[in-house]
């Protein structure tokens, strides 16, 4: 069976969008495999709720399908999707009740070396709770930089800000996170 | 005496956070299969809608009009309710025109004799009219 990854691995995003617009569903599959996991991860980190992250991912991809015939190389597809998803997340965060400090639901772990995994999970949960306390744009900038490995100019394009403003957001975000976590280092297994 | 500048703070923050980010990155699930299926179904549906609109542009407005009519009928409760509503309207119009209604061999008058006093005050006249039997 031919999967989209067999032949589309090196194909540029813009070409896949054009092929999808011409009716090629394998191009849609390739774009989904390439971008949906990143959009989902971003939304999950920002919203801290899996079901809402799924909704945002589906909505962002749907907007790509709709805009495909008019794409015309307007931006990098990944940056455009991050932008749509970030805006959808920020809208949802503003509408809903204040976010609790509860950590993200855990992924089941049945692997050996459980103690080490539990320690890593506790650290991830502590970071997650600290992230939840950040203002929306700081959180978006931190997630894009440290989880999605986006450059500052890319984050500026996603959040529609200047690069300097992104640097400032990141510095303030990191400062707040470090302040929240530095006192928990011993508790979380870091040797001082 | 040593002082700490913004760069020192940045480095210290980065060193504090690095192991937390490393731990959190390991804890990242992939999107579920049903989400991928839903996204691909959307892609197929958008393509099909676009193809249908491109091949038969004249059909689209008719389909839209059908959807609008369907929406009205659905709103009033279907064909039967719409027919009953139309019949009741015609009957009410006839009663209004003829001024009488035969109920079990007796004739009831549907017009009322109203005596109003010209007060010149539109509010008072309105309440007089509304309370008249």
Which letter does DSSP use for residue B73 in this model?
A: H
In angstroms, the CA B36 to CA A39 distance is 12
- The residue with tokens 């193809």 is B51
Q: Looking at the structure, do residues A110 and A184 belong to the same domain, yes or no? A: yes
| C-alpha distance across the termini of chain B, in Å | 99
Q: Is A17 inside any structural domain?
A: yes
Q: Residue B16 pLDDT > 90, yes or no?
A: no
Query: Which of B9, B43, B49, B53 is the best residue to mutate to test the A interface, defined by the most A CB atoms within 10 Å of its own CB?
Result: B43
Q: Is B95 inside any structural domain?
A: yes
Q: Looking at the structure, do residues A108 and A190 belong to the same domain, yes or no? A: yes
**Average pLDDT in the A167-181 region?**
93
Q: Which residue range is the domain that position B110 belongs to?
A: 30-131
Q: Looking at the structure, do residues A88 and A169 belong to the same domain, yes or no? A: no
Q: Looking at the structure, do residues A81 and A162 belong to the same domain, yes or no? A: no
Res B115: pLDDT: 47
**Chain A CB contacts of B32 below 8 Å:** 54
Q: Looking at the structure, do residues A91 and A145 belong to the same domain, yes or no? A: no
Q: Residue A8 pLDDT > 80, yes or no?
A: no
Q: Is A152 inside any structural domain?
A: yes
Q: What is the largest CA-CA distance in chain B?
A: 113
Note whether B8 contacts A: Cβ–Cβ < 8 A: no
Q: Is B13 inside any structural domain?
A: no
Paired tokens of B77: 């409760």
Q: Which residue range is the domain that position A43 belongs to?
A: 9-96
Which has more confidence, A14 or B62?
Answer: A14
Res A184: pLDDT: 79
Q: Is A4 inside any structural domain?
A: no
Q: Is B22 inside any structural domain?
A: no
**What is the number of alpha carbons within 13 Å of residue A84 lying toward its C-beta?**
23
**Average pLDDT in the B91-109 region?**
59
Measured between CA atoms, the residue of chain A closest to residue B38 is: A58
Q: Report CB contact under 8 Å: A124, B26.
A: yes
Residue A95 banded pLDDT, cuts 50, 70, 90: confident
Q: Report CB contact under 8 Å: A178, B17.
A: yes
Res B57: pLDDT: 58
Q: What is the CATH number of the domain that holds A57?
A: 1.10.1740.10
**Chain B CB contacts of A57 below 8 Å:** 31, 35, 39
Describe chain A by its helix, strand, coil percentages, rounded to 5.
70, 0, 30
Q: Residue A48 pLDDT > 80, yes or no?
A: yes
Q: What is the CATH number of the domain that holds A127?
A: 1.10.10.10
Whole-complex ipTM: 0.80
Q: How many domains does chain A have?
A: 2
Query: Which of B17, B34, B49 is the best residue to mutate to test the A interface, defined by the most A CB atoms within 10 Å of its own CB?
Result: B17
Residue pair A4/A30 in contact by the 8 Å Cβ criterion: yes
Note whether B42 contacts A: Cβ–Cβ < 8 A: yes
CB neighbour list of residue A32: distance below 8 Å, 6 or more residues apart? A61, B36, B39, B40, B43
In angstroms, the CA B126 to CA B133 distance is 14
Q: Is A184 inside any structural domain?
A: yes
Paired tokens of B89: 């309207």
A158-165: long-range pairs with CB below 8 Å, 24+: A158/A79, A158/A82, A158/A83, A158/A86, A159/A83, A159/A86, A160/A83, A161/A137
| End-of-domain residue from the set A96, A130, A146 | A96
Q: Looking at the structure, do residues A113 and A191 belong to the same domain, yes or no? A: yes
Q: Is A87 inside any structural domain?
A: yes
In angstroms, the CA B61 to CA B64 distance is 5
**Chain B CB contacts of A128 below 8 Å:** 24
Q: Is B9 inside any structural domain?
A: no
Q: Looking at the structure, do residues A105 and A180 belong to the same domain, yes or no? A: yes
State residue B101 phi and psi, 5-degree precision: -145, 130
| End-of-domain residue from the set A96, A128, A159 | A96
Q: Looking at the structure, do residues A162 and A137 belong to the same domain, yes or no? A: yes
Question: How many angstroms away from the CA of B43 is the closest CA of chain A?
Answer: 6
Residue pair A38/A154 in contact by the 8 Å Cβ criterion: no
- DSSP string spanning B76-115? HTSHHHHHHHHHHHHHHHHHHHH-EEEETTEEEE------
| Percentage of chain A exceeding pLDDT 90 | 62
Q: Is A2 inside any structural domain?
A: no
**Which SS3 state, helix, strand or coil, does residue A5 take?**
helix
Beta bridge partners of B100: B109
Q: Is A3 inside any structural domain?
A: no
In angstroms, the CA A39 to CA A85 distance is 7
Note whether A87 contacts B: Cβ–Cβ < 8 A: no
Q: How many domains does chain B have?
A: 1
Q: Looking at the structure, do residues A135 and A155 belong to the same domain, yes or no? A: yes
Q: Is B61 inside any structural domain?
A: yes
Q: Report CB contact under 8 Å: A32, B29.
A: no
Paired tokens of A84: 């749509």
CB neighbour list of residue A5: distance below 8 Å, 6 or more residues apart? A30, A33
Q: Looking at the structure, do residues A165 and A152 belong to the same domain, yes or no? A: yes
| pLDDT single digits (tens) B60-98 | 445 444 444 444 555 555 556 556 667 777 767 666 766
Q: What is the largest CA-CA distance in chain A?
A: 59
Q: Residue B131 pLDDT > 60, yes or no?
A: no
| pLDDT single digits (tens) A58-88 | 999 999 999 999 998 767 999 999 999 999 9
Exposure of A62 by Cβ count < 10 A (0-12 exposed, 13-18 middle, 19+ buried)?
Answer: middle
Closest by Cβ to B20, choosing from A32, A107, A123 = A123
State residue B5 phi and psi, 5-degree precision: -100, 180
Q: Report CB contact under 8 Å: B35, A181.
A: no
Q: Looking at the structure, do residues A92 and A107 belong to the same domain, yes or no? A: no
| Angle (CA) A61 A27 A4, round 5° | 115
| End-of-domain residue from the set A70, A96, A122 | A96
Q: Residue A122 pLDDT > 90, yes or no?
A: no
Q: Looking at the structure, do residues A137 and A152 belong to the same domain, yes or no? A: yes
Which has more confidence, B68 or B29?
Answer: B29
Q: Residue A1 pLDDT > 50, yes or no?
A: no
């Amino acid at each position: 069976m031919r999967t989209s990854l067999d032949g589309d691995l090196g194909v540029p995003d813009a070409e896949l969008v054009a092929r999808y617009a011409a009716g090629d569903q394998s191009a849609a599959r390739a774009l989904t495999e390439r971008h949906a996991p990143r959009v989902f991860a971003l939304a999950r980190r920002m919203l801290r709720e899996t079901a809402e992250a799924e909704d945002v991912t589906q909505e962002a991809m749907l907007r790509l399908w709709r805009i495909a015939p008019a794409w015309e190389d307007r931006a990098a597809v990944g940056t455009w999707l991050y932008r749509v998803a970030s805006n959808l997340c920020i809208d949802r965060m503003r509408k809903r009740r204040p976010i609790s400090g509860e950590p993200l639901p855990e992924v089941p772990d049945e692997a050996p070396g459980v103690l080490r995994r539990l320690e890593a999970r506790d650290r991830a949960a502590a970071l997650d709770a600290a992230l939840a306390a950040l203002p929306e744009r700081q959180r978006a900038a931190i997630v894009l930089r440290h989880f999605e490995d986006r450059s500052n100019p890319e984050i500026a394009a996603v959040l529609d800000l200047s690069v300097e403003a992104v640097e400032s957001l990141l510095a303030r975000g990191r400062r707040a996170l470090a302040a929240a976590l530095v006192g928990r280092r011993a508790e979380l297994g870091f040797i001082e | 005496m040593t002082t700490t500048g913004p760069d020192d703070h940045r480095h210290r923050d980065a060193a504090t956070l690095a192991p937390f980010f490393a731990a959190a990155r390991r804890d990242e699930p992939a999107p579920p299969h049903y989400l991928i299926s839903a996204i691909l179904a959307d892609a197929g549906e958008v393509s099909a809608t676009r193809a249908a609109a491109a091949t038969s542009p004249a059909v689209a407005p008719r389909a839209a009009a059908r959807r609008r009519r369907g929406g009205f009928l659905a709103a009033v409760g279907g064909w039967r309710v719409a027919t009953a509503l139309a019949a009741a309207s015609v009957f009410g119009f006839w009663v209004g025109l003829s001024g009488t209604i035969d109920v079990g061999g007796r004739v009831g008058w549907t017009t009322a004799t109203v005596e109003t006093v010209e007060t010149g005050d539109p509010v008072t006249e309105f309440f007089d009219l509304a309370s008249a039997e």
